[in-house]
Amino acid sequence: IFFRLISSGAMSLAGLLPHGAEDFGDQTEIVLSGRQIDDTVVRAIAEELKTNRTLTVLDLQSNYITAGGAAQLCDALRLNRSLKELGLANNSLGDEGAAELSNLLDTNHTLERISLDNNAISPALMEKVMFKTLLNTQPLAVKLAMPRALANDPELKELDLSEYEGSRVSCDLITDCLKANTVLVALNVSNLDIGDSGTAALATLVRRNSSIKELNLSNNSITTHGVRDVADALKQNQGLTSLILSQNKVGDDGARALIDVLRHNDSIVSLDVSRSAVSRVTTQALASAVFLNTQPLLLKRCLFQTASNDESLKVVDFSHHPNMENSARLLCNALKNNRFVTILNFGGVGVGDEGARDLAQVLTVNHTITELGLASNRITLEGGRQIATALTENQTLVDLNLANNHLGDEGAGLFVAVLSINNSIIALNLEQNEVSASMLDEVEDALFLNEQPIALKKVLPALMKGDAGDEELEVLDFSAYDGQRYHTDASVKILCRALIHNKHVKRLSYANNNVGDAGAVCIADVLKTNRKITHLDFSANAIRDRGCLALCEALKQNNTVTKLDLENNNISETGAQALLDVMKVNNVLVEVSLKFNKIPQTAFTDIQIACAINTQPKSLKHATPRIREADQSLTHIDVSNFDGSKYYNDTAVCILAHELKANDTILSLNLANNTFEQTGAEALAEFLAVNSSLTDLNVANNTIGDVGLSHFCTALQTNSTLTSLNITNNQIGDRGIESLLHALALNDSLVICKADRNDISLSLLQQLEDALKLNTQPKAFKTLLASVNDNDPTLKVLDLSEREDDRYYNDTTCKLLASALLHNQHIVELRLQGNTIGPKGAGYLADALEDNRSIRKINLNGNRIKDEGVMEIARALKVNDVLEAVWTDHNSVSLDAEEELTYRLMLNSLPKSFKATFDRLTANDPTLSYLDYSQEPGSAKVIDDAAMRLIATNLLVNSHVTLLDLSHNRITAQGAAYLEAALRHNTVLCKLNIAHNLLGDAGGRALARAMKQNGTLSYLNVTGNGISPDIVEDIHAAVKINAHQPPSGPAWNTPTPSLRSRTQTPGTRPSSSKSVPFADLTVYDEELAEVDDHFYSQEHYNSIEQMIFEDAMKDQNMLLK
C-alpha cells in the first residue's frame, strides 16, 4: 500500500493519456481501464472533466477508485454536459459511491450509461442508478413523468407521448413505471413506431394495470402478431374502455383475435381499427362484438354461449331484468342453431309481436327448447298466430307461458287447433288474456290428451273405431317412451277401455314405464274376456304383488296369453307362488320372465320349468307332480311313444332330468324314439351322477352323439346303480365308445349296453363287450385283471378263490383272464378253486396256456369243468411245457380224463426232447428210428424210472426205433427192470446208450438177463453206472454174440402176437397206428412178475433187489403218479 501511495502520488495525468498528452483536448473517448488509477488521479481527471465539452466516453474500469473518487467525479459531472458513458466496473465504490452517482443523475440528464459491476453495491441501489441512467435515454417528458408515475402522483392522469415522433421511447420503461400506477387513466403512445416488440411490452402493462381507461396505439407499425398480444392481455383486463389501433397492420386475423377476446372482456366499448387492413365484414363483426359490451352483461354472456353452443348453458332467464327490450331480437339468431338451451324466459321484458315473430322462427328450427316463458309482455293476436303456426312443426316445446298478454278467445282458439297436431305441449298458460272460461276448458281438454304418451294418442282414435283399420294394430308397443313421458296407470286405463272388445291386438308392450298395480288390475280385467292377446310385456315398471295376483287370477281363465314379461318390477315370493299356482291349470303359458324381482331363485327356477313343461308333451306335465311327490307306485317311466306330434326334445329331457334328481323311486326310464341331442344327454348325466335308484336307461333312436355319450360316461364314473343302458342308433362313433370304455374302468354296475346301429368299429365293440362282461365279475377281479394286463411283476399268485360279494368266477372270468394271460410273464400260480367255471372256461384257460410260459400251477378244485374241461387243459399241455400241477378235484371228472391230464403233466416234468418225440414213439412213427433222450450233465429235467416205464412200454410194440440214447439221466435198477421187460420182446433196437445213470449191479444184472433173450441189440453202453466188472463182462459178452449173428426174434415190423392181442383187452386204451399212449398195464405187470420171479430164485440178490421187486408190484396208479 505504501508503494502504491508513493507511485500514485508520483503519477501524473500526463503519464496516463496517450501520446503524452497533458489534457483531454478534443478527444471523444478515453480508455483508462486497468491503469491502477486511484482517487488521487481521479481528482485530476475530475478537474479536466469540469471544462471538457467533447468527451462522450470515459472508461475507468478495473482500477482502485473508491467512494471518494466517485464523489469527485460526480462534482465534475454536474458541470459537464457532454459525457454519455462512464465505465466504473471492477472498482471499490460501494453503496456510498453508488449513492453519489444516484444523486448526480437527478440533475445530470446527459449520462446515459454507467457500468458498476463488481463494486460491492446492493441490488436496490444498483437498480436505482440503472433506472436513472435509462431515464436519461428518454425524451424529457418521459424522464419527468416516469418518476411521478412511480410515485403515483395524483395529478398525473393523462400522459401524451405522441409529440415525440421519431424518439426512442422505451415501452419497457413505460410498462415498469406504470404497471403499479392507479391514477393514470389515458395513455397516448401513437406515432412512435414502437412495432410489435413495443406493443408486447405495453400488452404486459394492459395485463397488469386496470386503471387506464384509454389507450392510443395508432400509427405504430403494429401487425397481427402485436394485436394478438394486446388481445391476449385484454382477457385479464376489465378496466380499459377505449382502444385505438388505427393506421396499423391489424388485418382480419388480428381483428378476429379481438372479436374472440371480447367474448371474455366486458369493458371495451370503443375500438378503432380504421385504416388497418381489416375487411368490411370483419369490421362489422368487430363492431357487433363491441356493441354487445354496451348491452347488459347477462345478455352478452347468453349471446356468446348460445352462439358457441356452450353445453353448460341450459337456462336463459331474462324475466323482469331491466334494459332487456332487445334481448329476444338479439338472441333469436343464435338460438336457431343452438343445441343445448332448453328453457327460455322473456317474461316482463317488453316483447311485442315483432319479438314473438322472431321467437316463432326459432321454434320452427330449434329442437331443444322445452320451456318458453313470455308472460307479461305486449303480444297480441298477430304474435300469438306466429307462435301457434310454429308449433305445428315444433314437437319439443313442452311448456308455453303466455299469461298476461292480449290474445283473446280467437288467439286461444288458434292454440286449441294446434294441440290436435302438436303432441309435445302439456302445459299452456293463457290466463289474463281476455279468454272466456269455455275456451279455457277446451284448452285444458286438449292438454289432457297431450299429457298422454304420443304412441297412445296416435292409436287411440283407431282403437275406438272398432274393427275399422284395426288389422294394422296387432302389435301395440308402448315401450319406446316419449322423452320423460312414461305410461302410467292412467294411460293404461284409457287403453283398456278400447281393448275390452278389440279383436285384433295380439301383442301389448308397456316395458320401461311407470305402470303400477292399478294398471295391472285394468289389464287383468281385459284378459278375462279378451281372447286375442298372446304377448304381454310389463317389464321395468312398478307392479307389486297386488297387480301380479290380479294378473294370475285372469290367467287362470285366459287360454291365449303365451308370453308374460314381468322383469324388473317389485314382485316378491307371494306373486311368484301365485304364478306357480297358475301354471298348474294353465297349459298355454310358455314363457314367464321374472328377473330382477324380489323372488327366491328356487321359485324363479320352478316357474321357468313350469313354462317349459307347457311346451312339451302332455305326459311330462302329468308325470312331473308324481315325480316331485316321490310317488312310490311310480317306478317306471316310459315315454318312448311320443305324445301326439310332440317328441321329447332337449328341453323336455332337461326338465325331466331336473325333476328326477330328487326322486328315489324310479327304477326304469325309457326315452327311446325321441329327438333330444347332447344337451338333453348332459341333463340326464347330471341326474345319473346323483341318482341311486335307476337301474335301466333307454335312449335308443335319438341323436346324443359322441358328446352326449361322453356326458353319460362322466356320470357313470360315480353312478353305482345303473345296470342297463341302451344307446342304439344315436350317431355314436369310436370316440364315444372310447369314452365309455374309460368310464367302465371305474364303473362296476353297468353290465348291459346296447350300441347297435352306430358307426362303431368291430374291435371297439368287442372291447365294450369284454368291459361289460368284466362288470359281471366280482369287484376285486377288475383290479386284479388290470394288474395282469399291466404285467405287474409283483403279482406272482392270482388268487380268485376268495370273493367280497355273492358273485362267483365263471366261464366269462376265464375268457377275460385268458386274454390277459397271453402276454403276462410273471404269474406262476392260478387259484380258481370254489367257483362256477365250466368246460368253456377251462377251454379259454387252455387257449391261454398254449402261449403262456410262466404259469406253473392251476387249482381248479370245486368247479364244473367235467371231462371236457380236463381234456381241454390236457390238449394245451401238448404245447405247454412249463405247467407242473393242475388240481381238478370235485369237478365230476372221470378216471380216464384224470389219467390223461396226469399223463400230460408228467410229460411236462420230463425233458423237452422226450415230450417232443414221445407222441411219435407211441404212434409207432415209421420215420422215427433214432431217439436221443440224453441230457447235459446237471440238467434239471431228466429221464427217471417212471419215464423209463413209458419208454419200455412203447418199445414193446415199436417196430422202427433202432437207436436209443438214455445217457446222463437218473434211471435206477427199477428202470432197468422196465427196460429188461421191453428188450425181451423188442427185435428192432440195435444200439442202446444208457451210460451215466444209477443202475448199479441190480440194474446191470437186469440188462444182462435181457441180453440173454434179445438177439438184435449189438451195442450197449453202461459206462458210469456203478456196475461191477464181472456183470459188465456178462453184458458185453452177450452184446458180442448179437453183433456176430442174425436176429433170432420176430420180424422187425411185427410185434409179438401175444402182446398185440393183449394190448386190445377191453377197458384199456386201444393200440392204433396213430397213437398208443399206454400199453396194456396187465401185460406190463405180467412181464414184471416174470422178472421178479427170477429175482426170487437167486439167493445172492441183496436187499436192494428185494426193494425193486416191491416197488414193481405197487398199485398201477401209484406207479403212474
CA-to-CA distance for 643 and 654, rounded, in angstroms? 17
Pick the range with the lowest mean pLDDT from 18-32, 252-266, 836-850: 18-32
Whether residue 1089 contacts residue 954, with contact meaning beta carbons closer than 8 Å, is answered with no
- Can you read off the three cell numbers belonging to residue 149? 408515475
| pLDDT of the residue at 1120 | 40
Please name the residue that has the C-alpha cell 354487445.
Answer: 292
Distance CA 1025, CA 520 (A): 121
Q: Which residue has the higher pLDDT, 68 or 167?
A: 68
Q: Does position 727 have pLDDT exceeding 90, yes or no?
A: yes
Angle between helix 140-150 and helix 123-135 axes, rounded to 10 deg: 140
Kindly indicate the confidence band of residue 317, based on its pLDDT and cuts at 50, 70 and 90.
confident
The residues, any chain, with a CB within 8 Å of residue 430's CB and separated by 6 or more, are 402, 403, 407, 411, 412, 415, 440, 443
End-to-end CA distance of the chain: 149
Per-residue buried b or exposed e for 258-269, using 16+ beta carbons within 10 Å of the residue's own CB: bbebbbebebbe
Per the CB < 8 A criterion, the answer to whether 49 and 74 are in contact is: no
Cell digits for 500? Answer: 275390452
* CA–CA distance, 859 with 814 (Å, rounded to integer): 13
Confidence of residue 841 (pLDDT cuts 50, 70, 90): very high
Residue 578's pLDDT band (cuts 50, 70, 90): very high
Q: Is the distance from CB of 657 to CB of 624 less than 8 angstroms?
A: no
Burial tier of 315 (Cβ tally within 10 Å: 0-12, 13-18, 19+)? exposed
- The C-alpha atoms of residue 865 and residue 298 are separated, in whole angstroms, by 118
Q: List the 427-429 sheet strands across, edge first.
A: 315-317, 343-345, 371-373, 399-401, 427-429
pLDDT at 901: 92
The sign of the dihedral angle between the CA atoms of 495, 498, 502, 504 is negative
pLDDT at 38 over 80: yes
Q: How far apart are CA 1055 and CA 1061, in angstroms?
A: 10
Neighbours of 339 (CB within 10 A): 10
Q: What is the mean pLDDT of residues 549-575?
A: 94
CA distance 805 to 128: 119
- pLDDT surpasses 60 at 483: no
Residues above pLDDT 70, as percent of the chain: 89
pLDDT (0 to 100) of residue 10: 36
Return the pLDDT at 293. 80
Show the cell assigned to 964. Answer: 436209443
* pTM, entire model: 0.46
pLDDT mean over 495-512: 85
Least confident window among 263-277, 295-309, 590-604, 968-982: 295-309
pLDDT in tens, 538-557: 999 999 999 999 999 999 99
What band does 19 get if pLDDT is binned at 50, 70 and 90? low
Report the distance separating Cα 344 and Cα 335, nearest Å.
10
pLDDT at residue 484, as a whole number = 59
Q: What is the mean pLDDT of residues 827-838?
A: 94
Give residue 643's pLDDT. Answer: 55
Output the average pLDDT for the chain.
85
The tally of CA atoms less than 13 A away on the side-chain side of residue 80 is 28
Q: Sign of dihedral through CA atoms 1054, 1055, 1058, 1062? A: negative
| Cα 575 from Cα 549, distance rounded (Å) | 6
Query: What per-residue confidence (pLDDT) applies to 470?
Result: 54
Q: Given this model, what pLDDT does residue 1045 score?
A: 65
Distance, in Å, from the CA atom of 360 to the CA atom of 343, rounded to the nearest integer, reads 15
Q: Angle CA(343)–CA(445)–CA(515) in degrees, nearest 5? A: 75
What was the pLDDT predicted at 1? Answer: 38
Predicted confidence at residue 907, as pLDDT, reads: 85
Is pLDDT of 1098 > 50? no
pLDDT digits (tens, 9 = 90+) for 46-100: 988 888 889 999 999 999 999 999 999 999 999 988 999 999 999 999 999 999 9
Of 190-204, 949-963, 1034-1048, the range with the lowest mean pLDDT is 1034-1048
pLDDT band with cut points at 50, 70 and 90 for residue 683: very high
User: What pLDDT does residue 642 have?
Assistant: 58
Answer whether 1119's CB lies under 8 Å from 950's CB: no
- pLDDT at residue 781 above 50? yes
The answer, yes or no, to whether residue 1111 has pLDDT greater than 50, is no
Residue-level pLDDT at 1102: 39
